[in-house]
């Protein structure tokens, strides 16, 4: 009769141990009993970049990277992208179920009530240098919000946490739009609470002289993109939110850490990097030379590859469809031709096939954002707007998880052994 255990023999001592296997994992702490002597600390696992370590239990997002499956709370991403609104998805992620009409009405109205930010935030934004990167500004002002809501520290009260989650959902479009206006030197547009979530954001971003004619196709396209970005289980920025949040800090500070992680070019910053790469390639005829450069280790094909997906990223498939709808409205983006050709060549090249490198969510999203009128350095702000519900749901789940404590990895010390202090005149 097979047992759900793992037998380990320590060849250093000849001793055997049996540790339970549950959910396809062993507990790293069960290895601590494996020791060579009484004063030995015990065996640890070494896993830089968490390549094979589950750091939490989560009921939010399911990914099967080999089969290209992504589900939020059990619902396939394809169905949510086709049939749900962004606020319904945000509710689903954080509450675990799709809202009833009454629940959605309350959620929408709670968020609408909190869309304004303290006008001192504008003074912070005005203090940035003229060429400040939008993500640097966004992480700064989201972190700064914690000083306006000192009650956000009362995290043991679920009702208080709900209000903070609502505040972050409500204020991120306002802040993202303010950042946009700041980069353009345009006067700030305040929230219009007669508009819906997406419509209000787009209006605050693009309105000139108080006027903006909404394009429903582009607004729904943006909404789908936000849904596709809403959560992606334990990625770099979500892990940052969880790790920073585990210290007991308020959610504005924890989310600001998530925005910082997202900023990096290997994570959310990849959508911006893709556009720069397409600019660098410039012309279809330069693609083969560019691919050769990547294969020889000079840079990466941005928007390709993923730690988890080893087949086509399901979000990238949906984004390609959105691209067709958007370009039918806005006219073709000439860089699309280069991207399509780049993808065709890469997908038939042995280097990319062998390493299972496929387009990810960032490969086509930047082209769509550009067609919608967003500048390249702003793309990752849109990713942050989309990811907010995921960060908040994961933060909430982490706080409710009795198994969680302050995140504190171990290390293997590789430095000097104890040595004596050397006076400055005697140092070599
Ligand atoms: N172009 C060329 N080679 C690549 C690429 C790429 N985009 N990605 C991975 N490789 C190669 C890599 O050089 C390595 O080759 P070798 O085995 O010969 O050393 C192999 O594939 C495995 O790469 P890795 O770096 O060990 O894989 P990882 O799981 O640590 O990295 C990744 C995942 C997403 C950071 C990486 O694929 C990458 O840098 N992609 C480009 C940046 C990008 O598009 N990021 C967005 C990710 S999706 C959205 C998000 O997370 O925000």
CB 18 within 8 A of CB 7: yes
Nearest to 239 by CA among 261, 265, 256, 264: 261
CA–CA separation, 171 vs 260, rounded Å? 18
Q: Whose CA is nearest to atom 35 of ligand 1?
A: 266
Q: Report the chain's C-alpha Rg in angstroms.
A: 24
Q: Whose CA is nearest to atom 39 of ligand 1?
A: 266
CB 77 within 8 A of CB 68: no
Token pair recorded at residue 258: 């998530």
147 contact partners, CB below 8 Å, separation of at least 6:
none
Token pair recorded at residue 272: 């911006």
Ligand 1, residue 308: give the atom nearest the CA. 29
Rounded to the nearest whole angstrom, what is the distance from the C-alpha of residue 362 to the centroid of ligand 1? 13
Rounded to the nearest whole angstrom, what is the distance from the C-alpha of residue 370 to the centroid of ligand 1? 24
Q: Whose CA is nearest to atom 27 of ligand 1?
A: 307
Structure confidence at residue 334 (pLDDT): 83
CA–CA separation, 360 vs 319, rounded Å? 10
Average pLDDT over residues 328-336: 89
Rounded to the nearest whole angstrom, what is the distance from the C-alpha of residue 224 to the centroid of ligand 1? 25
Q: Which of 135, 262, 305 to mutate to test the pocket of ligand 1 (most atoms within 8 A of CB)?
A: 305
Name residue, tokens 């992208």. Answer: 81
Q: Name the 3-class secondary structure at 30.
A: helix
Crossing angle for the helix pair 314-330 and 216-229, to the nearest 10 degrees: 160
Read off the pLDDT of residues 80-135 as tens digits, 9 standing for 90 and up: 999 999 999 999 999 999 999 999 999 999 999 999 999 999 999 999 999 999 99
Half-sphere exposure of 361 (CA within 13 A, CB side): 28
Read off the pLDDT of residues 151-176 as tens digits, 9 standing for 90 and up: 999 989 999 999 999 999 999 999 99
Q: What separation, in Å, do the N-terminal and C-terminal C-alpha atoms of the chain show?
A: 66
Structure confidence at residue 398 (pLDDT): 98
DSSP state of 371: H
206 contact partners, CB below 8 Å, separation of at least 6:
212, 373
> Across the chain, what does the average pLDDT equal?
96
CA–CA separation, 157 vs 345, rounded Å? 54
Rounded to the nearest whole angstrom, what is the distance from the C-alpha of residue 363 to the centroid of ligand 1? 13
Rounded to the nearest whole angstrom, what is the distance from the C-alpha of residue 382 to the centroid of ligand 1? 22
Q: What is the largest CA-CA distance in the chain?
A: 79
Ligand 1, residue 351: give the atom nearest the CA. 3
Ligand 1, residue 355: give the atom nearest the CA. 21
15 backbone dihedrals φ, ψ, rounded to 5°:
-80, 145
Whether pLDDT at 57 is above 90: yes
Read off the pLDDT of residues 354-408 as tens digits, 9 standing for 90 and up: 999 999 999 999 999 999 999 999 999 999 999 999 999 999 999 999 999 999 9
Over pLDDT 70: what percentage of the chain?
100
Structure confidence at residue 2 (pLDDT): 84
Ligand 1: residues within 6 Å at CB? Answer: 235, 266-268, 270, 294, 300-307, 355, 357, 360-362
Q: Whose CA is nearest to atom 15 of ligand 1?
A: 355
Using CA atoms in the order 309, 315, 321, 324, what is the torsion angle rounded to 10 degrees?
-100
Using CA atoms in the order 229, 79, 75, 239, what is the torsion angle rounded to 10 degrees?
-10
Name residue, tokens 């556009």. Answer: 275
Rounded to the nearest whole angstrom, what is the distance from the C-alpha of residue 275 to the centroid of ligand 1? 17
Structure confidence at residue 279 (pLDDT): 94
Average pLDDT over residues 408-415: 97
CB 165 within 8 A of CB 94: yes
Token pair recorded at residue 41: 């600390």
Structure confidence at residue 44 (pLDDT): 97
Ligand 1, residue 274: give the atom nearest the CA. 44
The more confidently predicted of residues 175 and 311 is: 175
Q: Whose CA is nearest to atom 17 of ligand 1?
A: 355
Whether pLDDT at 253 is above 80: yes
CB 389 within 8 A of CB 230: yes
Whether pLDDT at 1 is above 90: no
Burial class of residue 220 (count of CB atoms within 10 Å of its CB; 0-12, 13-18, 19+): middle
Ligand 1, residue 383: give the atom nearest the CA. 52
Pair type for strands 69-72 and 61-64: antiparallel
Active site residues: 267, 306, 362
402 contact partners, CB below 8 Å, separation of at least 6:
none
DSSP letter for each residue of 163-193: HHHHHHHHHHHHHHHHHHHHHHTPPP----T
Q: Whose CA is nearest to atom 9 of ligand 1?
A: 305
Q: Whose CA is nearest to atom 30 of ligand 1?
A: 307
Rounded to the nearest whole angstrom, what is the distance from the C-alpha of residue 281 to the centroid of ligand 1? 19
């Amino acid at each position: 009769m097979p047992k759900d255990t793992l037998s380990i023999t320590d060849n250093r001592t000849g001793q055997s141990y049996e540790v339970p296997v549950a959910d396809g994992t062993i507990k790293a702490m069960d290895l601590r009993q494996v020791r060579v002597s009484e004063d030995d600390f015990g065996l640890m696992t070494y896993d830089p970049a968490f390549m094979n370590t589950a750091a939490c239990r989560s009921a939010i997002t399911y990914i099967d990277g080999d089969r290209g499956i992504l589900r939020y709370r059990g619902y396939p991403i394809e169905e949510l992208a086709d049939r749900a609104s962004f606020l319904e998805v945000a509710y689903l992620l954080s509450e675990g179920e799709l809202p009833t009409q009454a629940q959605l009405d309350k959620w929408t109205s709670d968020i609408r009530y909190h869309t304004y930010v303290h006008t001192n935030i504008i003074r912070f934004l005005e203090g940035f240098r003229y060429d400040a990167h939008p993500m640097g500004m966004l992480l700064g002002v989201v972190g700064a919000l914690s000083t306006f809501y000192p009650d956000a520290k009362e995290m043991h009260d679920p009702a208080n946490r709900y209000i903070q989650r609502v505040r972050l959902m409500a204020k991120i479009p306002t802040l993202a739009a303010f950042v946009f206006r700041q980069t353009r030197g345009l006067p700030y547009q305040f929230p219009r609470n007669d508009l819906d979530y997406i419509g209000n954001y787009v209006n605050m971003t693009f309105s000139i002289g108080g006027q903006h004619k909404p394009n429903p196709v582009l607004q729904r396209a943006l909404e789908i993109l936000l849904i596709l970005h809403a959560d992606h289980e334990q990625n770099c920025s979500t892990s940052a939110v969880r790790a920073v949040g585990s210290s007991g800090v308020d959610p504005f500070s924890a989310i600001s850490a998530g925005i910082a992680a997202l900023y990096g070019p290997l994570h959310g910053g990849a959508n911006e990097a893709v556009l720069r790469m397409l600019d660098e390639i410039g012309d279809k005829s330069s693609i083969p030379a560019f691919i050769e450069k990547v294969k020889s280790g000079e840079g990466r094909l941005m928007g390709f590859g993923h730690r988890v997906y080893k087949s086509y990223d399901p979000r990238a498939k949906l984004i390609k469809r959105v691209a067709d709808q958007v370009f039918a409205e806005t006219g073709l983006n000439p860089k699309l031709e280069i991207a399509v050709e780049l993808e065709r060549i890469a997908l038939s090249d042995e280097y990319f096939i062998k390493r299972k490198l496929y387009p990810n969510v960032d490969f086509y999203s930047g082209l769509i954002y550009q067609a919608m009128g967003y500048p390249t350095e702003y793309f990752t702000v849109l990713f942050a707007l989309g990811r907010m519900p995921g960060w908040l749901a994961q933060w909430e789940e982490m706080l409710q998880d009795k198994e969680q404590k302050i995140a504190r990895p171990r290390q293997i010390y590789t430095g000097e052994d104890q040595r004596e202090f050397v006076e400055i005149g005697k140092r070599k």
